[in-house]
Amino acid sequence: MKVAHVIDSLQWGGAQKLLLTFSAEARRRAIATTVITLNTSLENPAVPQRLRASGAEVVRLPAPRLFDLRRFVQLVRLLRRERFDVLQVHLTYANILAPLAAWFARTPVVATLHLAGPDPGLAPRKQQLEDWILRRLRLVQQLVAVGFVAAEFYAPRLNGRTIAVIPNAVDPIPPLDAAACQALRATLMDDPAHPLALAVGRLTAIKAFPDLIDAWALVAATHPEARLVIAGSGDQEQAIRARITRHGLQEKVRLLGSRDDVPQLLQAADLFVSSSHLEGLPVAVLEALAAGLPVVGTEVGDVPHVLIKDTGIVVPPRQPAQLAEAIVALLDDPARRQAMSVAARQHIAAHYSPAAWVDRLLEVYAAAQGSRR
């Protein structure tokens, strides 16, 4: 079987990590995987490197604008030449452009719905165009939502089209020995014995890191020894740094930039925090649980479905005080954190394995192939 994925860019993000998970599992099943990226300016070099290492071919088709005739022709020719059995598309630009090209190549399309609400960084006309394309069976044969709330958000926009809910998967996190863990902690903060919280995500508006900084100012008032590190890059970096300075947290909060050692960071931390205003089913939260980290997360998307009471704490979004209260509750209770760690690993292994995830995707691929004939 030959499967192609089209995605807006290969930066570090949840959708990109899913491609890594898919390509590794596909390789075990002898499924040939090609990943086509539309924007190389945002590309993190580690992402295509890891995709190739996991067995995927990476094809770059950058262009100065969404509807670039030269790129469109290149994409159509690529699809015709390779004769993929199915094309899965991720994120807005791919959801718009790739189904149109696939129609000319007669390639079945599965579109992926990642968010559980409107992206504030997306122009309304592009959102409307994406919705128009996703509604049409001739262009998109099957729809997959990464979580139940994402499906609920899109259902009325897509005229009641059937949406298969296939929750995201996550690879097991390889163990990090105690010495390596302590060495990594020493690079992250002044005293490795201090409590360490970790957040991971693109520094964009929907991730709401300013809320987390406001919350950490409250945490620091009662737990001055606690430290917070944030892994990720994005257009909100300067605003977040200004927020850190405003609260006088320069010695207590660090921005790490984009990192390719997130699995190791997860195992070096004591807890994970997600302050997002908008999510589907965040892969970063799944990875934290797979690493055995207790999680404090906001009640957005499918986060409440993942953070059952024994694995984490859910708080309302846009409420830094409640976010801080939950963080403090875990900092004050090491025994509870340890119990959550065990429960988190068990929960992920039982419900979010790559093998079960790909099994369900293959069922959707078969349905898309049947619809296209």
Please tell me which residue, 260 or 219, carries the higher pLDDT value.
219
Q: Are residues 186 and 241 in the same domain?
A: yes
Q: Does the structure show a pLDDT above 70 at 111?
A: yes
Q: Are residues 269 and 207 in the same domain?
A: yes
Cα(338)–Cα(330) distance, rounded to whole angstroms? Answer: 10
Q: Does the structure show a pLDDT above 90 at 42?
A: no
Confidence class for position 373, pLDDT limits 50, 70, 90: low
Summarize pLDDT for 283-311 with one digit per residue, the tens: 999 999 999 999 999 999 999 999 987 99
CATH code, domain with 45: 3.40.50.2000
Q: Are residues 267 and 335 in the same domain?
A: yes
Q: Does the structure show a pLDDT above 90 at 70?
A: yes
Q: Are residues 361 and 334 in the same domain?
A: no
Q: Are residues 143 and 201 in the same domain?
A: no
91 token code pair: 């994120």
Please give the C-alpha separations between residue 61 and each of 8, 45, 82, 126, 372, in angstroms, as whole numbers.
Answer: 10, 15, 15, 20, 25
Q: Are residues 104 and 184 in the same domain?
A: no
Q: Are residues 112 and 15 in the same domain?
A: yes
Q: Are residues 62 and 156 in the same domain?
A: yes
Pairing of strands 164-165, 142-145: parallel
Whole-model pTM? Answer: 0.88
Q: Are residues 234 and 310 in the same domain?
A: yes
Confidence class for position 252, pLDDT limits 50, 70, 90: very high
Dihedral in degrees, nearest 10, Cα atoms 154, 157, 161, 162: 10
**How high is the mean pLDDT of the chain?**
95
Q: Are residues 49 and 164 in the same domain?
A: yes
Cα(140)–Cα(130) distance, rounded to whole angstroms? Answer: 11
Summarize pLDDT for 125-160 with one digit per residue, the tens: 999 999 999 999 999 999 999 999 999 999 999 998
Pick from 75, 64, 126, 127: which is nearest to 99 by CA? 75
Q: Which amino acid is at 262?
A: V
The number of CA neighbours under 13 Å toward the Cβ of 201 is 29
Summarize pLDDT for 47-66 with one digit per residue, the tens: 999 999 999 999 999 999 99
Cα(351)–Cα(238) distance, rounded to whole angstroms? Answer: 38
Q: Are residues 186 and 310 in the same domain?
A: yes
Q: Does the structure show a pLDDT above 90 at 118?
A: no
Q: Are residues 189 and 338 in the same domain?
A: yes
Q: Which domain holds residue 274?
A: 178-351
How many domains would you assign to the chain? 2
Percentage, residues of the chain above pLDDT 70 = 99
